[in-house]
Structure 1
Amino acid sequence: MGFMHKQIFRLGLSLLLVLCVTLGAWIEPAHALTEEQKLVAEVWRIVNRTYLDDTFNHQNWAAIRQKILEKPLKNQESAYVAIQKMLKTLDDPFTRFLNPEQYRSLQVNTSGELTGVGLQIGLNPQTGKLEVVAPIHGSPAEKAGILSRDRIVKIEGFATDELTLDEAAAKMRGPIGSTVTLRIAREGEDERDVQLVRDRIAVNPVIAQLQPGQGGKSIGYIRLTQFNANAPMELAHAISNLEQQGADAYILDLRNNPGGLLQAGVEIARLWLDSGTIVYTVNRQGIQGSFEAFGPALTDDPLVVLVNQGTASASEILAGALKENGRAQLVGEKTFGKGLIQSLFELSDGSGLAVTIAKYETPLHHDIHKLGIQPDKEVGSGLLTREQIATADDPQYQAAVEMLTKNRVMLGAV
């Protein structure tokens, strides 16, 4: 029986997105399976073929399939529950099932526009708790004062410990004008409820402006908030405009950027690099693929990259590529540490399956999962308002300006 499924790679606290279509075939056992059993078997086969850990969390994966299919599945919902139970045995929060509504929501999210509260969320790799990676610029969540690393304890009274990442995201999305209440926990403070009014969230990933430096030089400041499909083009336009305005050096701000599309990260690295490896990918056979820069870069001007604990996944790929190719120095805090790659498969009934299929390594073959990337200059930062970012009140930004100037790497200083 032949089949076709869409396969989407998306790297980020959520997923790594690159569209492709794969063909495959399988042979069913002699006895007929119900539609519910076929869906479970479809999921089992995808995991069996693609999952990064070929020990399947040190268990007999074939026996797991047999055990699941032995039990009657009365309806679609029971099949979904069985699939979730099967995937839970892998002990991997990034390998997960999405029902059709969650799958459609994810597709809307990757389109760059959605209706919701404007939070990028993820599971802390150490604690497994749901937390804010970053609020989206100008969103209801940002206006309400929700910050990176805040923990989301409850959504409309539902404890998030009982929700998957996608279920949590689905509960926060909704029609424009509707409200949702989040219970927020912040280190050193009491938990509090925040009521948000959902709105249309337009994700503009690039903020750019020419800033005064020291010694009469000008700095092109570019803040990249996520790696969506438009990010490479928008960033290229920003660099070109800043070059025309006379930028002598650049600060690329990747703080609280949770990642996004792998291809966007690779293309953005190519905007800055004339040559060199950007990232390696390693699957369970140990096979390495790589993405290379082939130039020419849009600018050879000096570059400093700002990073912090919310810099994750595709952001870490970009930061690692620029650092290890000697193109940029990093300033700020150690990054998040998300080095796994997921593939999203569309299933036969319109639901979806996210599977961890590979890991990535930096150009110098560093595996940064749960480790992060250490900056060249470590500088802490207090809680900043949106207006304080890239100003005299932003110590990480000021350290980057100082590095560009005092290290005599500004254009014209030799």
Structure 2
Amino acid sequence: MGFMHKQTFRFGFSLLMAFCLALGVLIQPAAALTQEQKLVSEVWRIVNRSYLDGTFNDQNWAAVRQKALQKPLNNSKATYGAIQEMLKSLDDPFTRFLDPEQYRSLQVNTSGELTGVGLQIALNPQTGKLEVVSPIAGSPADKAGIRPRDRILKIEGVSTQNLTLDEAAARMRGPIGSLITLLIERDGEGETEIRVVRDRITLNPVVADLRFSPQGTPIGYLRLTQFNANASMELAHAISSLEKKGAAAYILDLRNNPGGLLQSGIEIARLWLDSGTIVYTVNRQGIQGSFEAFGPALTDDPLVILVNQGTASASEILAGALQDNGRAKLVGETTFGKGLIQSLFELSDGSGLAVTIAKYETPNHRDINKLGIKPDQVITQEPITREQIATEADQQYQAAVELLAKNSSEISHSTDRANS
């Protein structure tokens, strides 16, 4: 019996040895990867594990890796080029590689300060053109008159046609006080050259003011320019301050707000809601995560949100959450339509990777990607200057004031229903 057991053990052990030897043959090439090849593999693995589209744009993702590793990767430039080509095959402008400088810059941006012209840009998925989502309020680009939806054709004479989003952004950054020339194309106006002086851009995302309607109602006017790490705390302070000053209704201006941190959008929705779903997230397994409000809201006063074509991403999550929960009425124009969520990964050499990991749906399960959110009251208006925002020249703002004056009771009732 003992002999049999020993024989079985020996047989099992020899099988294990054979398996280990075979496995050794299989995994040996991976152990011989150069640092450059390891970086390519690292990017490939992250995308393989977490990218939203499990078909990888209907291609064999393993073959894409093999092709990338066959290239001569002798330096960082060649390696970064191979990674960018690999990601380009996914045909998703939001899944992108960031070299160490670009990655640091993005971290600074979401943390609250950057240097440059102050433009939020995106590649239009339909046309492939570099488009302005919006200029940051008060930035050099804003003062120079650059508008949402402007196409940037050239940066300092260099065509943007073959530039990635981050290459374009890197070309627009530079020392404070230096001059940059942009060739802009605008609907109905053709091409125009705009010269901009770079500066430090402080990203204080909240503008707050107590206003009065013609009927004498005290209205808290809040403008949010982006969803960075400070946004939720700054907005909470502003609401509390306006409450103490006697605000009886609110206008939240999200026009030309290009978004930012998902968590910031969720936290801000919670400032306004006692309960209810804020957003659903759907990954490639189809699994839905959801984020809820758990109250209490900072105020139950009637709320109108101003939106336009430059209202994107986290702004749309917030606007959709408050519209679907009956907490706010939306006034303005249909929003940008970015319904995808990216996650940021730090790579071993200090570079970064942004990957589309999920899409989101509003509480009523609306998928707004490329469609945007339609306001309750559509008011189109010609572009206005920064100084004209929230004045008599601002028709969208005036419509919001009018809606609060007329329908404050109706908005209050829908709020009660949503929170019951």
TM-score, normalised with respect to structure 1: 0.91
Whether contact under 8 Å (1:249, 1:410) holds in the other structure is no
Higher helix share: 2
Pairing 1:4-403 to 2, within 5 Å after superposition:
29-31=27-29, 32-403=32-403
Alpha-carbon distance between aligned partners in 2 of 1:410 and 1:371, rounded to the nearest angstrom: 28
Q: Number of residues paired by the alignment?
A: 388
Change (3 A) 1:296 1:153: same
Whether contact under 8 Å (1:210, 1:219) holds in the other structure is yes
Alpha-carbon distance between aligned partners in 1 of 2:327 and 2:136, rounded to the nearest angstrom: 28
Alpha-carbon distance between aligned partners in 1 of 2:411 and 2:41, rounded to the nearest angstrom: 60
Alpha-carbon distance between aligned partners in 2 of 1:263 and 1:240, rounded to the nearest angstrom: 21
Q: Secondary structure at the match of 1:56?
A: coil
- 1:407 offset after TM fit, Å? 2.1
Alpha-carbon distance between aligned partners in 2 of 1:280 and 1:157, rounded to the nearest angstrom: 43
1:334-390 deviation digits (Å, cap 9, x = unpaired): 110001111111111111111111111100111100010111111101111112111
Higher strand share: 1
Q: Secondary structure at the match of 1:266?
A: helix
1:59-83 deviation digits (Å, cap 9, x = unpaired): 1111111122223322221111111
What letter matches 2:208 in structure 1? A
Question: Which 5+ residue runs of structure 2 have no aligned equivalent?
Answer: 1-24, 415-420
Q: Secondary structure at the match of 1:131?
A: strand
Whether contact under 8 Å (1:156, 1:182) holds in the other structure is yes
Alpha-carbon distance between aligned partners in 2 of 1:326 and 1:193, rounded to the nearest angstrom: 44
Whether contact under 8 Å (1:150, 1:184) holds in the other structure is yes
Change (3 A) 1:72 1:413: closer
Q: Secondary structure at the match of 1:193?
A: strand
Whether contact under 8 Å (1:219, 1:251) holds in the other structure is yes
Change (3 A) 1:411 1:194: closer
Alpha-carbon distance between aligned partners in 2 of 1:44 and 1:160, rounded to the nearest angstrom: 27
Alpha-carbon distance between aligned partners in 1 of 2:110 and 2:337, rounded to the nearest angstrom: 22
Alpha-carbon distance between aligned partners in 2 of 1:325 and 1:142, rounded to the nearest angstrom: 33
What letter matches 1:83 in structure 2? I
Change (3 A) 1:105 1:411: closer
What letter matches 2:27 in structure 1? P
Q: Secondary structure at the match of 1:132?
A: strand
- 1:412 offset after TM fit, Å? 9.9
What letter matches 1:156 in structure 2? E
Change (3 A) 1:144 1:295: same
- 1:286 offset after TM fit, Å? 0.8
Which entry has the higher C-alpha Rg, 1 or 2?
2
What letter matches 1:220 in structure 2? G
What letter matches 1:29 in structure 2? I
Whether contact under 8 Å (1:404, 1:410) holds in the other structure is no
Alpha-carbon distance between aligned partners in 1 of 2:411 and 2:183, rounded to the nearest angstrom: 49
Q: Secondary structure at the match of 1:260?
A: coil
Change (3 A) 1:349 1:411: closer
Alpha-carbon distance between aligned partners in 2 of 1:412 and 1:175, rounded to the nearest angstrom: 50
Alpha-carbon distance between aligned partners in 1 of 2:155 and 2:264, rounded to the nearest angstrom: 32
Whether contact under 8 Å (1:105, 1:170) holds in the other structure is no
What letter matches 1:172 in structure 2? M
Alpha-carbon distance between aligned partners in 2 of 1:359 and 1:336, rounded to the nearest angstrom: 15
Alpha-carbon distance between aligned partners in 1 of 2:240 and 2:131, rounded to the nearest angstrom: 36
Alpha-carbon distance between aligned partners in 2 of 1:173 and 1:155, rounded to the nearest angstrom: 11
TM-score, normalised with respect to structure 2: 0.89
- 1:176 offset after TM fit, Å? 0.9
Change (3 A) 1:412 1:196: closer
Q: Secondary structure at the match of 1:269?
A: helix
- 1:411 offset after TM fit, Å? 9.6
Higher relative contact order (CA 8 A, sep 6+): 1
Question: Which 5+ residue runs of structure 1 have no aligned equivalent?
Answer: 1-26
- 1:29 offset after TM fit, Å? 3.0
- 1:127 offset after TM fit, Å? 2.2
Whether contact under 8 Å (2:301, 2:412) holds in the other structure is no
Q: Secondary structure at the match of 2:28?
A: coil
Alpha-carbon distance between aligned partners in 1 of 2:411 and 2:48, rounded to the nearest angstrom: 54
Alpha-carbon distance between aligned partners in 2 of 1:127 and 1:140, rounded to the nearest angstrom: 27
Whether contact under 8 Å (1:249, 1:411) holds in the other structure is no
Q: Secondary structure at the match of 1:30?
A: helix
Alpha-carbon distance between aligned partners in 1 of 2:191 and 2:212, rounded to the nearest angstrom: 41
Alpha-carbon distance between aligned partners in 2 of 1:412 and 1:195, rounded to the nearest angstrom: 48
Whether contact under 8 Å (1:306, 1:396) holds in the other structure is yes
Alpha-carbon distance between aligned partners in 2 of 1:28 and 1:217, rounded to the nearest angstrom: 75
Alpha-carbon distance between aligned partners in 2 of 1:73 and 1:412, rounded to the nearest angstrom: 63
Whether contact under 8 Å (1:180, 1:195) holds in the other structure is yes
Alpha-carbon distance between aligned partners in 1 of 2:176 and 2:54, rounded to the nearest angstrom: 44
What letter matches 1:67 in structure 2? K
